[in-house]
Amino acid sequence: MGALKARFNIAMKPFLSLIVPCRNERAFLGRCLDSILASDYPATRMEVLVVDGSSDDGTRALIDQYAARDGRVRSVDNPARITPAALNRGIEAARGEIVARVDAHATIARDYFSQCVTYLENTSAANVGGSMRTLARSDGPFAGPIVAAMTHRFGVGNSYFRIGSDEPRWVDTVFGGCWRRELFDRIGRFNERLDRSQDLEFSLRLKAAGLKTLLAPEIQSDYYARSDLRSFWRHNFLNGEWAVLPFVRSEIIPVRLRHLIPLLFTLGLTVGVAVAPFSLWPIAAVAIPYTLANLAASANVVWRERRVSYLLLMPIAFASLHLGYGSGSVSGVFKALKEVFTCKPRWRALSRFSTIRRPS
């Protein structure tokens, strides 16, 4: 009787389709898939769709190896090579009542999906996710400071999936995400005009439709962040561009105030430098408060981590995050203006995968 009841409980679990977007991720994809396949979610009630963007580093061969070993894994082609297209191709191929996403640079806890589905079924949430623990991809002098900057309020503001939360809370967006399949029929799929920020834009469309996103701290994952200053700056620069470009590629206001503060900070510094030959007050009004706040946050990290060397490295890591992001946002402003003045309202030029609709 016990075995029969267990089989019945497994059969009652909603079928879960997990989407893993990837392109040239051979170095990270294996441990991501290992963590997914070790999940405690019933193996007969889930599938893993690895959506590959024409990788040329051996990623596809790795996917095929996993697919040959485990029938839950199958590959899906993404000729567009961008994340929102990968998500949309995965949604099209998905067989599940529940759809979830995990990034190739992440690993998940064993009960990750069970927790997601439990919260989705027992709360009013339309999207569920958790906090992520940020880890360094490799060793180096800035590996630790970069992780600290990405998990500190001074670095990322009130981004709760990065800084964590002691209790479940309603938020703007979460890392990854878990949704009922029917949600995509209601509010549309991911905006393929957004190379980045598509997850936040989708969550804000969800919110505009009167629906909610829940962050639950029990849902845990690890994310491997860039560990050297050069790639960290470049990553922040690109993220900064995509804090602005969605304004001309989306029907809604696609970001929050925290995403625009680095733009205002960088513009303030630029103006201050421009007028410095005439007056030092403008640059002092921007640079001095920022420097003091940076040093205070850095000292907080030094105390928390018990690493005296961070006193020199943390201000650089914080500045690389904020100035890199802000410089990217300035670049994004010019690119957005170019699109406006060349009469290219990009958010209307959506591909067949997006089917974005205004909330009713």
pTM: predicted TM-score of the whole model, two decimal places: 0.85
> Which phi-psi region, left, alpha or beta, contains residue 173 (left: φ > 0; alpha: ψ -120 to 50)?
beta
**Residue type at 228?**
D
Helices (H), the chain: 2-12, 26-37, 59-69, 83-93, 112-122, 143-149, 153-156, 160-163, 182-187, 198-208, 229-241, 257-275, 281-305, 310-341
For the stretch 38-78, pLDDT in tens is 999 999 999 999 999 999 999 999 999 999 999 999 999 99
Residue 255 pLDDT level (bands cut at 50, 70, 90): confident
Assess whether pLDDT exceeds 90 at residue 2: no
With H, G, I as helix, E, B as strand and everything else as coil, classify residue 150.
coil
Assess whether pLDDT exceeds 80 at residue 25: yes
Asked if 129 and 175 count as a contact pair (C-beta separation under 8 A), the reply is yes
For the stretch 310-350, pLDDT in tens is 999 999 999 999 999 999 999 999 998 988 887 655 444 44
What are the structure tokens assigned to 165, written together?
């939360």
Which residue from 56, 48, 106 is spatially nearest to 81, judged by alpha carbons?
56
Average of per-residue pLDDT values in the chain: 88
Domain chopping of the chain, boundaries: 13-144+159-227, 257-348
For the stretch 167-181, pLDDT in tens is 999 998 898 899 999
The number of C-alpha atoms within 13 Å of 26 and in the hemisphere containing its C-beta is 12
Q: What is the DSSP string of 215-273?
A: EEEEEEEEEEE--SHHHHHHHHHHHHHTTTGGGGT-SS--S-HHHHHHHHHHHHHHHHH
Q: What is the pLDDT of residue 352?
A: 36
Kindly report the CATH number that applies to the domain delimited by 13-144+159-227.
3.90.550.10
* Interstrand relation of 106-108 and 213-225 (parallel, antiparallel or unpaired): antiparallel
The number of C-alpha atoms within 13 Å of 360 and in the hemisphere containing its C-beta is 4
Q: How far is CA 29 from CA 34, 192, 235, in A?
A: 9, 23, 20
**Residue type at 227?**
S
145: buried, middle or exposed (CB in 10 Å: 19+, 13-18, 0-12)? buried
Assess whether pLDDT exceeds 80 at residue 357: no
For the stretch 73-101, pLDDT in tens is 999 999 999 999 999 999 999 999 999 99
Q: What is the pLDDT of residue 253?
A: 76
Please name the residue that has the structure tokens 């943390």: 314
The number of C-alpha atoms within 13 Å of 29 and in the hemisphere containing its C-beta is 27
